[in-house]
Every structure is written in structure tokens, then in C-alpha cells.
């Protein structure tokens, strides 16, 4: 294993030329920031992996925080922070645009680097007004708890999770954040020791680096109930650093770690390089499963992925529930977007049903409810008794899943929202969409190589 990790480390540790370029840029940034410090009354601080020296080779992102006194009101903080950010980028000859998280910040581009200039409050973790106020404390904790060798071990862990599609705490990935990676290495000492322990993890695994709590059972059963991995934030005991990690990625991490532990090699470290399936492969896999795919395609709204992906998943769940209620069982579901269009993927056990359906009623000895059931269906449907219960032979309004979903989604924005379709998506869906099943869905697969790569992941998925 050591030979493999040594080879990987050479690929992830920045070289001297790269470090020189970064230092030069940071010096220029700091100089400009210091020139405006007294006028705007803030303290500059570099944050993120650059500041913690855990950044991966070829990374071009720099996070510069402007820390304001906590007595400054939010409007003033945003106004001053954005004004300073724009000035700094412009004076360095770069370009900028505004980006938004919990509050706006400046996204700059200078000499090939992406620079985020973020206004925040200079306060302790117990008095934060937004999550960015906690970030400087994360930097300080990592600086105090990782040595130089361990920082390189963090890089190896980041590379591993990145190669397996699990790196990032964004709501698209729902994986391992950089800070979580740093805490795990600080806790276990090295990537190799983490591998030895992670294969034994079970859901509800607890790590509390600063021993904030005496009872791990309390954390599992009450405070962070239903979180597969619980890592108490060293600087904020009320926060689970791993809260965004999905159950799926918890088990996928265990599986990939186990594969690497049992057969340490570059192939198991890096994992498979999934390529878009060709159309014959798509067709063969669908035929083998004996299911039918429904694809719902519409233009993507101009929102951050942290808004887009939760809304796509919510829309998938809503359609699934309504399909299930109509008798069209959904086997699996997923969502994909390339930033310009969204496609919801619903795999159906059946996409067509007979016109007639049998609706169960109450037991015949439940007189009150029997009368209501008879009153509802009498004269329009055949009423039957089987095993002491009433049944009605009910004629379906829709016999195909396609007709049902068309009826559901071909509507105006307000009606779609009333039906449970999230706001940003409801607006785009109301402007036009494509719904395809059977052979028509194959046309969409043909048009979208990115979707076919998503399907390679979909068909490969196995978490045990």
C-alpha cells in the first residue's frame, strides 16, 4: 500500500513552480487588501485549503475573507465587502461577478486563478450570523492540529474521494468536504490508518475530536439522529461536519475503501473511469432489466446547484409518489443536469395498466364506512365482496404512465406549484418540456452523452 500512496502523493502535492505562482498572487492580494483595510475597517484572512496547505495540485481557487466587527449591521457588511472585493479584483487587472451563498460575495478571476472575496463577521463560533463566520475558526483548528506530513495525507484522502465521485459538501454531491477530510486525518493520523478503521464503520459512527460530549449514544439517538457519520465540529459542538454526507456515499466510501484495503493498487485507488454508454449498451441493459424508462426534460433555471439538485430530487419524489398512487410502480429514480437542461430519470416496473382497477373498501361489518363506500361507487362501478371486504371495480382515468405525467405536468406555474413541483422548476416546466418513454426515451439518450455517462453510473451502482 505504501508504494501506491507514495505514487499518488506525487500526483497531488503541488510543485515548487505552482507554489511560487500561488504565493505571488496571494502577496498581491494581501497588499491590495491591506491598502483598503483602515478605510473599510476589516481584517483580511486567507481561508480554504490554500490557507490550510491541504490544496490539491493544479487547484486554482483562493478564498480571501474580509472580517468585519460583529457590531456592523448586515447591510453595511455586504455593501462594504462587495465594494472592496470589486476594487481589489479590478486593481489586479482581473474580472469579477457577484455570487450568492447565505449572502453575496465577489467571484474574481486573476491570472488564471479563481478568487472568492467573502465578507464575514469576526466573531467566535457561538455567535455566528451565517456559516461563513465559522470558516476562519476551521482554518485555525486545522493549523493547530495537522503537521506537514498529515497535510499531504489529507491531499491523498481528497484525491481518493474525488476519483470516486464523493468529494464535495455541495448538495449535488453530498460527499466529503475538505474540512471533514482534514478532521478525519487529524483523528486517525494518516490515510492508511483511516483505511484500516473505515472498513469497520457502521451507520451512526461517532467522532468527537475535542470530546465535547460524554455520551456517543446521545449523539446517535438524539442530537444527530439518522446521520450515518457523526463528526462533531471541533469549533462548534452543535454541528455535525458530516451532516451533508448522504447515506449512499457513506456506504460507497466503505465499499471503495474495502476494495482498496483488500487489493491496494492504483486501479482500486482511482476507481473505474466511467464513459458514456453507447446506444446498444443502453438498449441491452434496459432489455435485460425488463423495465421502462421515463425521462422528463426541461430547461434548467439559473440557480446554484445547491438549489437545483434538491429541487430536482424533490420533483422526482413527487412524481414517483403520484405514479405509485396510480398503480405505476417506480423502481428507481435519479436526476441529471448539465447546467442548461434538466432530465429526471424514472425507471418504471410497468408503464401501462389495464383500464379496470380494483379498489378495496371496508369490511362488510363496518356498517358506517360500508355505506359511505357504496354511496361513492354505486351505479358507476361494479361492487363486489371478497373475504368479508367490499371492493369496487374502478375504471382508470389513465392507462399509461406517459398520459398521466403529461396531464400532471402540462400546466401553468401556479398549478404546478400547488401539485408540489418546486418553484424554480415549476417555472421552467410551465414554459415547455419533453416527456419520453420506451423508444422515445432512447432518442434523448442518443442526444445527451452526459446523460449516457450518468446511466453508466446508474447501472453500475452497488453499495454492498
Asked if residue 257 and residue 155 are part of one domain, the reply reads yes
Residue 3 lies in a domain: no
Residue where one domain finishes, among candidates 78, 105, 130: 130
Instruction: Give pTM, 2 decimals.
Output: 0.93
- Structure-block grid coordinates of residue 325: 398512487
**Residue 65 lies inside a defined structural domain of this protein:** yes
Do 385 and 403 belong to one domain?
Answer: no
Distance CA 331, CA 329 (A): 6
Q: Domain containing 97: what range? A: 13-130
Greatest Cα-to-Cα distance within the chain, rounded to the nearest angstrom: 86
Q: How far is 250 from 202, CA to CA, in rounded Å?
A: 9
Residues 301 and 249 occupy one common structural domain: no
Q: How confident is the model at residue 103 (pLDDT cuts 50, 70, 90)?
A: confident
Instruction: Please give the pLDDT value at position 337.
Output: 98
Residue 47 above 90 pLDDT?
yes
* 404 and 338 belong to one structural domain: yes
CATH number at residue 378: 3.30.70.1550
If we measure between CA atoms, which residue out of 295, 379, 309 comes closest to residue 339? Answer: 309
Q: Mind listing the pLDDT tens digit for each residue in 58-78? A: 988 999 999 999 999 999 999
Residue 100 has pLDDT above 80, yes or no: yes
CATH number (domain holding residue 104): 3.30.460.10
136 part of a folded domain? no
Are 292 and 440 part of one and the same domain? yes
Supply the CATH number for residue 434's domain. 3.30.70.590
Inside any domain, residue 375: yes
User: Is residue 138 a part of any domain in this protein?
Assistant: no
Is there a single domain that holds both residue 299 and residue 440?
Answer: yes
pLDDT tens per residue, range 185-232: 999 999 999 999 999 999 999 999 999 999 999 999 999 999 999 999
- Phi and psi at residue 140, to the nearest 5°: -65, -40
Question: Is 414 contained in some domain?
Answer: yes
Nearest Cα neighbor of 359 from 323, 331, 396 is 396
Q: How many domains does the chain have?
A: 4
Q: Does the residue 333 lie in any domain? A: yes
pLDDT in tens, 289-332: 999 999 999 999 999 899 999 999 999 999 999 999 999 999 99
Asked if residue 290 and residue 244 are part of one domain, the reply reads no
Give the model confidence (pLDDT) of 5-40 as tens digits.
999 999 999 999 999 999 999 999 999 999 999 999
At which of 61, 96, 130 does a domain end? 130
Q: Do 126 and 49 share a structural domain?
A: yes
Tell whether the model's pLDDT for residue 260 goes beyond 80: yes
The string of pLDDT tens digits covering residues 377-434 is: 888 889 999 999 999 998 899 999 999 999 999 999 999 999 999 999 999 999 999 9
Q: For a pLDDT cut of 70, what percent of the chain falls above it?
A: 100
Do residues 329 and 232 share a domain? Answer: no
Same-domain status, 205 and 240: yes
Contact 428, 300 (CB under 8 A): yes
Alpha helices per DSSP H over 53-174: 74-91, 135-145, 148-163
Q: What is the pLDDT at residue 169?
A: 94
Kindly state whether residues 285 and 420 are assigned to the same domain: yes
Neighbouring-strand partners of residue 66:
44, 119
% of residues, the chain, pLDDT over 90: 93
Return the exposure string of 40-71: e unless at least 16 CB atoms fall within 10 Å of the residue's CB, then b: bebebbbbbbbbbbbbbeebbebbbbbbbeee
Does residue 81 lie in a domain region? yes
**Which domain-ending residue is among 229, 251, 270?**
270
Residues 86 and 214 in one domain: no
CATH of the domain at 179: 1.10.1410.30
Amino acid at each position: 500500500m505504501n508504494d501506491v500512496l507514495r505514487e499518488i502523493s506525487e500526483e497531488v502535492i503541488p510543485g515548487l513552480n505552482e507554489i511560487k505562482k500561488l504565493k505571488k498572487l496571494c502577496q498581491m492580494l494581501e497588499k491590495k487588501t491591506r491598502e483598503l483595510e483602515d478605510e473599510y475597517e476589516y481584517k483580511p484572512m486567507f481561508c480554504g485549503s490554500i490557507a490550510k496547505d491541504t490544496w490539491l495540485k493544479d487547484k486554482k481557487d483562493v478564498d480571501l475573507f474580509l472580517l468585519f466587527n460583529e457590531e456592523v449591521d448586515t447591510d453595511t457588511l455586504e455593501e462594504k465587502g462587495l465594494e472592496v472585493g470589486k476594487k481589489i479584483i479590478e486593481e489586479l487587472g482581473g474580472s469579477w461577478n457577484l455570487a450568492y451563498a447565505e449572502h453575496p460575495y465577489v467571484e474574481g478571476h486573476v491570472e488564471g486563478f479563481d478568487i472568492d472575496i467573502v465578507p464575514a463577521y469576526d466573531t467566535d463560533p457561538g455567535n455566528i450570523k451565517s456559516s461563513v463566520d465559522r470558516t476562519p475558526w476551521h482554518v485555525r483548528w486545522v493549523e493547530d492540529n495537522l503537521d506537514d506530513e498529515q497535510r499531504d495525507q489529507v491531499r491523498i484522502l481528497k484525491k481518493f474521494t474525488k476519483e470516486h465521485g464523493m468529494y464535495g459538501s455541495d448538495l449535488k454531491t453530498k460527499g466529503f468536504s475538505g474540512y471533514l477530510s482534514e478532521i478525519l486525518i487529524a483523528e486517525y493520523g494518516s490515510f492508511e490508518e483511516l483505511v484500516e478503521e473505515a472498513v469497520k464503520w457502521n451507520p451512526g459512527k461517532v467522532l468527537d475530536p475535542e470530546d465535547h460530549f460524554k455520551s456517543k449514544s446521545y449523539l446517535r439517538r438524539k442530537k444527530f439522529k439518522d446521520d450515518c457519520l457523526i463528526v462533531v465540529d471541533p469549533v462548534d459542538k452543535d454541528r455535525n461536519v458530516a451532516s451533508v454526507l448522504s447515506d449512499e456515499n457513506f456506504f460507497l466510501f466503505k465499499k471503495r475503501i474495502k476494495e482498496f484495503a483488500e487489493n491496494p493498487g492504483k486501479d482500486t485507488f482511482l476507481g473505474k473511469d466511467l464513459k458514456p454508454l453507447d446506444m446498444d449498451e443502453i438498449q441491452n441493459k434496459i432489455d435485460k432489466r425488463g423495465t421502462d424508462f421515463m425521462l422528463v426534460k426541461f430547461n434548467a433555471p439559473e440557480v446554484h446547484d445547491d438549489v437545483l439538485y434538491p429541487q430536482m430530487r424533490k420533483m422526482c419524489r413527487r412524481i414517483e409518489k403520484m405514479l405509485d398512487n396510480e398503480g405505476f410502480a417506480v423502481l428507481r429514480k435519479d436526476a441529471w443536469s448539465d447546467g442548461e437542461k434538466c432530465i429526471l430519470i424514472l425507471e418504471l416496473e410497468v408503464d401501462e395498466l389495464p383500464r379496470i382497477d380494483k379498489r378495496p373498501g371496508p369490511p362488510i361489518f363496518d356498517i358506517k364506512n360500508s355505506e359511505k363506500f357504496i354511496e361513492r361507487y354505486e351505479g358507476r362501478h361494479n361492487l363486489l365482496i371478497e373475504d368479508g371486504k367490499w371492493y369496487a371495480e374502478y375504471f382508470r382515468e389513465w392507462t399509461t404512465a406517459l398520459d398521466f405525467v403529461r396531464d400532471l405536468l402540462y400546466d401553468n406555474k401556479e398549478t404546478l406549484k400547488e401539485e408540489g413541483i418546486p418553484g424554480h422548476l415549476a417555472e421552467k416546466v410551465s414554459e415547455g418540456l419533453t416527456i419520453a418513454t420506451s423508444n422515445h426515451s432512447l432518442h434523448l439518450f442518443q442526444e445527451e452523452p452526459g446523460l449516457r455517462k450518468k446511466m453508466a453510473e446508474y447501472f453500475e451502482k452497488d453499495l454492498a
